[in-house]
Amino acid sequence: MDLNKQTTILITCSSGLAPFLQAELTALGFTVDNSHDTGVEVTASLYDCLRLNLHLRTAYNVLYLLKEFTCETPGELYENVRTIPWENIIPVDEYFTVISRVNTASIDNTMFPSLKVKDAIVDRVAQRLGSRPDSGPKRDNLVFGLYWQKNKCRLYLNTSGRKLSDRSYRKMPHTAPLRESLAAGIIIAAGYDGSGPIVLPMCGSGTLAIEAALIAVKRPPGLLRTNFSFMHLKDFDIELWQSLRRDTLKQTKKTAAKSSPPLIIAADIDELAIEAARKNALTAGVEHLIDFEVCDFADTTVPPAGGIIILNPEYGRRLGQIQELEKTYDRIGNFFKQKCAGYIGYIFTGNPALAKKVGLRTSRKIPFYNGDIECRLLKYELYKGSKKNPR
């Protein structure tokens, strides 16, 4: 495939992250053409897709548009897909999968369009080259994405394969871990750039701390991954990719050497959580940048200089649990008030009723989704002498 041909690139993300994804794209020098709740579009090349896969923190997948067409029936879908020169895209001994998102009257089984696309691909390759690639559900090799809305179809090469949020450092998930792209979005939304202290009590498996460390040392998360879908393309220039990786790594090391190390404190009451966080940070190559503590959140070290503090307490489902959590949220309010003066405090929660128990006035509520749970990142300006809001 031509690495320099420009086309529409759709970068997907979870609900709530699009503004942060847009900001990342702009910082990387791209002009945003279009943006919606779960995706942002730019015009760029396949080579740009390699850079995007390497650098983006808040994205899910980088999709390179192969063909756009109108289509009413599965037969038309097959014919349109078959016109694409697949013999130049997929090696005959490669494996691929097709993921479809379909909302059209003629289809009620979303597996069916994926099968039609697969048939068109293998039939074309078999006809031209006498042998057919293998296909199935795994996302570890080539991945294609079909978006079929009414009579409009778009077929993409998903250059990422597995979601970019799957950074591959989380070997020990512990309980209720945040997705890495969401954790990065929270850290970015909190305005953290590595220049001041960041304190993360209730750190669980350490996702927020690890993403903060990666941001502080400006290390692109894609450097942690060894496999992307684009690497499986026919005649893919692996040397070009390796040199892009090497150059990025060199630049990252140079930047880190020039700046002073960040101050990141991650704590949790559960020893096993800290064990998991430590191991995950080690896998991510940032364990040396984080100070870990096993303690109640209220005893976490809070450096006096001021900075950012973020808590991600449980939201609770069962009644007994909620009553217990009400006390925890109330204690967080007291902790903010008594120990965190001079900080910007944040609570990430999916339970607004519990959030009220904090009893402090929020200065901002940033909407996010954690899976299908609507959440908020609540911001508290903890100026010295801030008053607990009597409710």
Ligand X SMILES: C[S@@+](CC[C@H](N)C(=O)[O-])C[C@H]1O[C@@H](n2cnc3c(N)ncnc32)[C@H](O)[C@@H]1O
| Residue 296 touching ligand X (CB under 6 A) | yes
Which one among 39, 161, 197, 204 touches ligand X, defined by CB under 6 A?
204
Q: What's the min distance (Å) between Cβ of 266 and ligand X?
A: 10
Stretch that binds ligand X, among 171-179, 224-232, 240-248, 363-371 (CB under 6 A): 171-179
Q: What's the min distance (Å) between Cβ of 156 and ligand X?
A: 30
Which one among 63, 122, 178, 214 touches ligand X, defined by CB under 6 A?
178
Which one among 207, 229, 362, 370 touches ligand X, defined by CB under 6 A?
207
| Residue 273 touching ligand X (CB under 6 A) | yes
Quick one: DSSP state of residue 179?
A: P
| Residue 208 touching ligand X (CB under 6 A) | yes
Report CA torsion sign: 325, 310, 160, 172: negative
Q: What's the min distance (Å) between Cβ of 219 and ligand X?
A: 19
Give 102 or 289: the residue with its C-beta nearer to ligand X: 289
**What letters, b where the CB count within 10 A reaches 16 and e where it falls short, cover 264-296?**
bbbbbbeeebbbbbbbbbebbbbbebbebbeee
Q: What's the min distance (Å) between Cβ of 21 and ligand X?
A: 20
Contacts with 140 (C-beta within 8 Å, 6 or more apart), sequence order = 95, 161, 162, 227
| Residue 292 touching ligand X (CB under 6 A) | no
Biggest CA–CA distance in the chain, Å, is 77
Q: Residue holding tokens 């954690």?
A: 370
Q: What's the min distance (Å) between Cβ of 113 and ligand X?
A: 35
| Residue 77 dihedral angles phi and psi, to the nearest 5° | -60, -50
Tokens of 110: 């979303």
Residue 30 CA neighbour count, 13 Å, CB half: 27
Q: What's the min distance (Å) between Cβ of 172 and ligand X?
A: 10
Binding site for ligand X (CB under 6 A): 174-178, 201-202, 204-205, 207-208, 268-270, 273, 296-297, 312-314, 328
